[in-house]
Amino acid sequence: MTIPVPATPFADPAPARRLERAATALTANGFTAEILDDAVAARTRVKELIPEGAGVFTAASETLRLSGIDEDINTSGRYQAVKPRALAMDRATRADDIRRMLAGPDVVVGSVAALTETGSLVVASYSGSQLPAYAGGAARAIWIVGAQKVVPDLDTALRRVEDHALPLESARAQVAYGQPSAVNRLLILNAEPHPGRGTVLLLREAIGF
């Protein structure tokens, strides 16, 4: 299913100079930042970054789905994919096991709702299932970020969440689950204190919400 993305400023890819400012700020804040041409390049780079056999959790993300990264990780057999294992477990009897699996994988791969030019990552979530791994539970984190998600500052990032990403995700959730989404939890990553843990693959093209 393809959710139409409205023609708003929040859907327009940021120009090269803004991507470079964001990447420079991310690096200053302790993240590893790479600017790549497109989702194809990100797909290749993710394979290079994750060692075969690693336990990998893919957070729910249109960016991962559209790029093929979600499928690469969860169906290729190269990794110990966390999501298929969790989905196969009984939620009523093994909820604690599922929670622990999602919170502390070797690697978490996902995206964000916004990236500021000052080097902060903003993540909005309905359930919060990906947030523990993002915040520090995973040994490594990789975020793939489309160029349209780059905004000047935190205030603009929060507006992007509410005015752009949430309506699109709500439309998707309504079709998939029969109910709209909500920003029940919000995570802001201002810096990465552990060098080498967090990698941001910043694309020159727009992808995802």
pLDDT of residue 5: 47
Maximum distance among all alpha carbons in the chain? 51
| One-letter amino acid for residue 61 of the chain | S
Query: Is residue 73 in a domain?
Result: yes
CATH number for the domain including 77? 3.40.50.10420
Could you tell me which of 176, 95, 98, 172 has the C-alpha nearest to residue 133? Answer: 98
* Run means of pLDDT, 10 residues per run, the chain, 209 residues: 57 97 98 98 98 97 97 97 93 91 97 98 96 98 98 97 96 92 97 97 97
Query: Is residue 24 in a domain?
Result: yes
pLDDT of residue 91: 86
What residues make up the domain containing 125? Answer: 9-203
What pTM, to 2 d.p., does this model score? 0.94
Query: Is residue 56 in a domain?
Result: yes
Determine the Cα–Cα distance for residues 118 and 147; give it in Å rounded to an integer: 15
Query: Is residue 3 in a domain?
Result: no
Query: Is residue 66 in a domain?
Result: yes
Query: Is residue 75 in a domain?
Result: yes
Query: Is residue 4 in a domain?
Result: no
pLDDT of residue 9: 80
Query: Is residue 125 in a domain?
Result: yes
pLDDT of residue 8: 61
Determine the Cα–Cα distance for residues 74 and 160; give it in Å rounded to an integer: 29
Handedness of CA 189, 193, 199, 205 (dihedral sign): positive
Could you tell me which of 205, 200, 208, 207 has the C-alpha nearest to residue 45? Answer: 200
According to DSSP, residue 107 is labeled E
Residues 209/10, Cβ–Cβ less than 8 Å: no
C-alpha neighbours within 13 Å on the C-beta side of residue 116: 20
pLDDT of residue 205: 98
Number of domains in the chain: 1
